[in-house]
């Protein structure tokens, strides 16, 4: 475990671009871009082990990316306030080139969870590193305005699917980010009121339409469960204990498989394998529910997915939900992505919570 912690730190540090961006997986055909969700969780995993230089560079890069799109954010916010429809191409992208440009390839781009996740991890970074947050204030304020204007809209989920739905995991990530922005103290009075109002409205919606049978649902109107919902339980911790327990129980029933966690039952991407990042989120959820032995088992399962050189994959293919779909993805994009920086960041975060350090 300690060796894998050390290797994970080295892999993430080695792969970070000079700009500060973290590529999802530089060796994978279409993952040489920087996703805010992935990068934010990667930076937070490093921070959990006292590493601050890489996370600082990432957060500075993200702030630059957002500040460079100030005019675009103003246009979107104004159009939505006026009741106009906004073309999806005008919303902020979910992934960027490593130097901060919009990607030129067609992609499933309108997602909001990454921006909420960035705010949540930035607040943790500023608190842990003792860093002056003033340089980040413009980007934080713009992100709050953008999220407050857009959170009600359907968009792609964590997995870049179902753009026609309002996804509960996205809502809870946005709520967590808005509340984190309030804690930074970087918002003026108007911005703080905007953040608080939006966060409270999201919480109210999730508490009513975002639940079924007392647990979180995949999207509004769905009875399905999704592994990404675990983040709402922990580390975001934006749902009450009863909802947390029932959501974890649903994940255990439908998605937990021999230690690893599937994304959702209908998953066909690379055959629908089990994801280390979701195993780590389940470990965090177990810790919130005072189940440390179960959390340690999740950490052990993640470590067991490492290749001989210590690299962690995006998913493992030994227990597939739809094995007949694996060949088509291999033909399209090659082997499963590895090393996935988010997998390493997720492992680092859970390892730190369980007292495992290099």
- Domain assignment of residue 291, yes or no: yes
- Domain assignment of residue 159, yes or no: yes
- Domain assignment of residue 14, yes or no: yes
Crossing angle, helix 341-353 and helix 276-288, to 10 degrees?
20
- Domain assignment of residue 102, yes or no: yes
Residue 314 annotated among the catalytic residues of the structure: yes
What is the extent of the structural domain holding 293? 2-353
SS3 185: coil
Residue 60 annotated among the catalytic residues of the structure: no
- Domain assignment of residue 108, yes or no: yes
Residue 161 annotated among the catalytic residues of the structure: no
- Domain assignment of residue 253, yes or no: yes
Q: Which of 102, 160, 161, 257 is catalytic?
A: 160
Residue 193 CA to residue 267 CA, distance in Å, equals: 39
- Domain assignment of residue 358, yes or no: no
Give me the sheet containing 274-275, strands edge to edge.
Answer: 256-257, 260-262, 274-275
Q: How many domains does the chain have?
A: 1
Q: Which of 15, 38, 109, 314 is catalytic?
A: 314
Q: Which of 157, 175, 226, 311 is catalytic?
A: 157
Q: What is the pLDDT along the chain (358 residues), one digit of tens a residue?
A: 999 999 999 999 999 999 999 999 999 989 999 999 999 999 999 999 999 999 999 999 999 999 999 999 999 999 999 999 999 889 999 999 999 999 888 888 899 999 999 999 999 999 999 999 999 999 999 999 999 999 999 999 999 999 999 999 999 999 999 999 999 999 999 999 999 999 999 999 999 999 999 999 999 999 999 999 999 999 999 999 999 999 999 999 999 999 999 999 999 999 999 999 999 999 999 999 999 999 999 999 999 999 999 999 999 999 999 999 999 999 999 999 999 999 999 999 999 999 999 8
Residue 239 CA to residue 257 CA, distance in Å, equals: 24
- Domain assignment of residue 288, yes or no: yes
CATH number (domain holding residue 236): 1.50.10.10
Q: Are 358 and 15 in contact (CB under 8 A)?
A: no
């Amino acid at each position: 475990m300690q060796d894998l912690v050390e290797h994970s730190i080295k892999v993430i540090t080695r792969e970070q671009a000079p700009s500060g961006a973290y590529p999802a997986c530089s060796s994978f055909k279409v993952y040489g871009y920087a996703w805010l969700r992935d990068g934010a969780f990667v930076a937070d995993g490093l921070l959990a082990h006292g590493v601050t230089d890489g996370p600082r560079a990432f957060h500075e890069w993200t702030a630059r990316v957002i500040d460079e799109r100030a005019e675009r954010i103003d246009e979107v916010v104004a159009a939505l306030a006026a009741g106009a429809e906004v073309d999806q191409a005008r919303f902020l992208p979910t992934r960027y080139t490593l130097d901060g440009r919009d990607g030129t390839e067609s992609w499933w781009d309108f997602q909001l969870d990454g921006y909420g996740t960035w705010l949540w991890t930035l607040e943790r970074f500023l608190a842990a590193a003792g860093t002056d947050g003033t340089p980040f204030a413009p980007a934080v304020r713009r992100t709050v305005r953008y999220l407050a204007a857009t959170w009600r809209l359907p968009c792609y989920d964590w997995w870049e699917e179902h753009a026609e739905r309002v996804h509960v995991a996205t809502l809870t990530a946005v709520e967590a980010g808005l509340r984190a922005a309030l804690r930074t103290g970087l918002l003026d009075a108007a911005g703080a009121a905007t953040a608080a109002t939006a966060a409270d409205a999201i919480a109210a919606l999730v508490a009513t339409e975002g639940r079924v049978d007392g647990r979180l649902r995949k999207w509004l109107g769905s009875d399905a469960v999704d592994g990404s919902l675990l983040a709402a339980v922990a580390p975001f911790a934006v749902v009450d204990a009863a909802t947390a327990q029932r959501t974890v129980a649903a994940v255990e029933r439908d998605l937990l498989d021999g230690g690893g966690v599937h994304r959702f039952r209908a998953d066909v991407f690379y055959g629908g394998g089990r994801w280390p990042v979701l195993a780590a989120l389940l470990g965090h959820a177990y810790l919130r529910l005072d189940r440390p032995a179960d959390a340690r088992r999740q950490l052990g399962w993640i470590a067991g997915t490492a290749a001989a050189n210590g690299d962690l994959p995006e998913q493992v293919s030994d227990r597939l939900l739809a094995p007949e779909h694996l060949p088509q993805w291999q033909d399209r994009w090659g082997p499963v992505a590895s090393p996935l920086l988010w997998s390493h960041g997720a492992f680092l975060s859970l390892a730190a919570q369980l007292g495992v350090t290099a």
